[in-house]
Structure 1
Amino acid sequence: MQALPFATMAFILYIAAGTWQGMTLLRRVPPRPGMVRIIAALGLLLHIPMVVQLLGQAPGLLPGFTTSATLFMAVAVNVVLVASLFKPVLNAGVMLFPLAGIVLIVATGLPSQGSETGLTPGILLHAISSALAFALLAIAAVQAVLVGLQNQALRHHHIRGIVQSLPPLTTMERVLFELVWAGVLLLTLSIASGFIFLDNLFAQHLVHKTLLSIIAWLVFTTLLVGRYRFGWRGMRAVKWTLAGCGFLLLAYFGSKFVLEILLHR
């Protein structure tokens, strides 16, 4: 399969879906959620064969940086599309759809490494829960950015533009914490299954991911406790969500990026 044509078509579809949704937020075009879902879903259909091809090219059963990024973005796009049928999260596609397209294009030009390990049901559980946790918390990060913009606009009495296009702030915050709750549950499952089914989570090649994942879990858990004990909301919730997502991003991709892309190991 020729990778670049598939990646290019997926990139164009993702950009189109993200752009229309962005223009909707700016009230430049009418809302077309069904059309946006269809366009993004077509991009995802072209994205999935790329993931399969990259997984097949990896020399081991644990994918490297480019394959992991491509796989996780496919999961994130899928979660956005499915969740948007029940919750107002399609606006997260403004950032996630174009990012998925960029990751896909970049992945076609970079080699992907892997590491050998036995793919047992326990490791599969760890991998799936990790991917889903990343997807939900990545959506939460975008939701937090939108909540932050909405909060700042309302503080300065700017009620036109993006504020008019978003659901009420209370709804946006409720959805944000629902995403964080679901993401933390899956992250807990990911960390617990890693300790149970992986030989040594504090081995040299896993210690950074393990420690950063635990830090991210602590940040998100503190946020949830603060929410339900002290009523945290607004910009405080936004900052804690983005901080947790930052640690999670470093955990999942930081060491892989340094070792494989910068140091070529």
Structure 2
Amino acid sequence: MNLLPSLATNMPAVVLSGLAALSYAVLAWVHPRASAMQSRALLTVAWLLHLGVLVFGLFEQPARFGFAPSLSVTVWLVLTVYMIESRLYPQLRERWRFAFLGAAVVLLALVFPGTPYPALRSNWMPLHWALGIASYGLIAVAVGHAWLMQRAEKAMRLGTSTETAMPLLTLERLTFRFVAAGFVLLTATLLAGWYFSELLNHRWVWDHKSVFSVLSWITMGVLLWGRWRMGWRGRFATRMLYFGAGLLLLGYAGSRFVLEVLLQRS
């Protein structure tokens, strides 16, 4: 299996991906010495270049999709939400961590561009993909907020929290809002998957993707119910969120990674 795409036929993708990864790397390197405005400007440049990579991939023929492109889109969505939130909550200062993550997924998608789809079995299949990636992104954002919430809780216990830190209740509220939004989109994704499965295969196919996705949906649903009816919060709720997000990651990205990289099958 040839992992690297042809430089001759994919030179625009290679250049855009290289520039995006380089921009992320520069941000991570200069972050300790850069002002908030400079860091924000560098992140914006990297974000725009990353968007260019994704847009170029949409028009590639034949269409490709796989675990690495899905992770790349997910991280870009997370960055989009972060950039909006950082305007509303200037206390958010995790740009260098996102820079490392952005550089990694851009390069990963360049090396593993995914499986080619010369002809889609339905013109509406991209809708199913879009819903799935959007649910990935929102739940990933929820995981990021949960991690920040854990850090804030630890800082409060140690007495090291500062006035510039985001309020714990604000982080908690944002976390569960993103969980709820991700759950709604994941529900739509599963319904679309069921529809296409019935349309194309005349039955629901219980493969690894379906099993892990349904288990994640059940976990997120129980978490939201527990939050609403039982007031679940703190470490228990956070660990449950991590578990559900892990199942969702295994559902598509994990399964495709095994097929594309370990088994080298499409």
Instruction: Tell me, yes or no, whether TM beats 0.5.
Output: yes
Structural mapping, 1:235-246, within 5 Å? 235-246=235-246
Partner of 2:8: none
Partner of 1:169: 168
After superposition, the Cα gap between the structure-2 partners of 1:235 and 1:76, relative to the gap in structure 1 and judged at 3 Å, is same
Does the CA contact (< 8 Å) of 1:58 and 1:64 recur in 2?
no
Give the percent of matched residue pairs that are identical in Structure 1 and Structure 2.
30
3-state SS of the aligned residue for 1:154? Answer: helix
Q: 2:23 aligns with which of 4, 13, 36?
A: 13
Q: Which amino acid in structure 1 is aligned with residue 66 of structure 2?
A: G
Structural mapping, 1:147-166, within 5 Å? 147-155=149-157, 157-160=158-161, 164-166=163-165
Q: Measure how far apart 1:29 and its partner are.
A: 7.4
Partner of 1:214: 214
Q: Which amino acid in structure 2 is aligned with residue 180 of structure 1?
A: V
Using the alignment, how far apart are the partners of 2:240 and 2:65 within structure 1?
29
3-state SS of the aligned residue for 1:159? Answer: coil
After superposition, the Cα gap between the structure-2 partners of 1:53 and 1:144, relative to the gap in structure 1 and judged at 3 Å, is same
After superposition, the Cα gap between the structure-2 partners of 1:165 and 1:9, relative to the gap in structure 1 and judged at 3 Å, is farther
Q: Measure how far apart 1:51 and its partner are.
A: 2.4
TM-score (norm 1): 0.81
Q: Which amino acid in structure 2 is aligned with residue 10 of structure 1?
A: A
After superposition, the Cα gap between the structure-2 partners of 1:86 and 1:187, relative to the gap in structure 1 and judged at 3 Å, is farther
Does the CA contact (< 8 Å) of 2:132 and 2:186 recur in 1?
yes
Q: Which amino acid in structure 1 is aligned with residue 107 of structure 2?
A: I
Structural mapping, 1:72-91, within 5 Å? 72-86=74-88, 90-91=92-93
Does the CA contact (< 8 Å) of 1:18 and 1:98 recur in 2?
yes
More displaced stretch, 99-108 vs 11-20: 11-20
Partner of 1:256: 256
Using the alignment, how far apart are the partners of 2:134 and 2:94 within structure 1?
16
After superposition, the Cα gap between the structure-2 partners of 1:127 and 1:91, relative to the gap in structure 1 and judged at 3 Å, is farther
Using the alignment, how far apart are the partners of 2:163 and 2:18 within structure 1?
34
Q: Measure how far apart 1:244 and its partner are.
A: 1.1
TM-score (norm 2): 0.80
Does the CA contact (< 8 Å) of 1:55 and 1:63 recur in 2?
no
Does the CA contact (< 8 Å) of 1:77 and 1:97 recur in 2?
no
Q: Which runs of 5+ in 1 are unaligned?
A: none
Does the CA contact (< 8 Å) of 2:16 and 2:49 recur in 1?
yes
Q: Which amino acid in structure 1 is aligned with residue 177 of structure 2?
A: E
3-state SS of the aligned residue for 1:182? Answer: helix
Q: Measure how far apart 1:37 and its partner are.
A: 4.0
Q: Measure how far apart 1:6 and its partner are.
A: 2.6
CA displacement 1:196-217 (0-9 Å, x = unmatched)? 23434744xx711111111111
Structural mapping, 1:78-227, within 5 Å? 78-86=80-88, 90-91=92-93, 93-115=95-117, 116-121=119-124, 123-155=125-157, 157-160=158-161, 164-198=163-197, 199-200=200-201, 202-203=204-205, 207-227=207-227
3-state SS of the aligned residue for 1:114? Answer: strand
> Is residue 41 of structure 1 aligned with residue 40 of structure 2?
no
Q: Measure how far apart 1:128 and its partner are.
A: 1.8
3-state SS of the aligned residue for 1:13? Answer: helix
Q: Measure how far apart 1:98 and its partner are.
A: 2.2
Does the CA contact (< 8 Å) of 2:91 and 2:165 recur in 1?
no
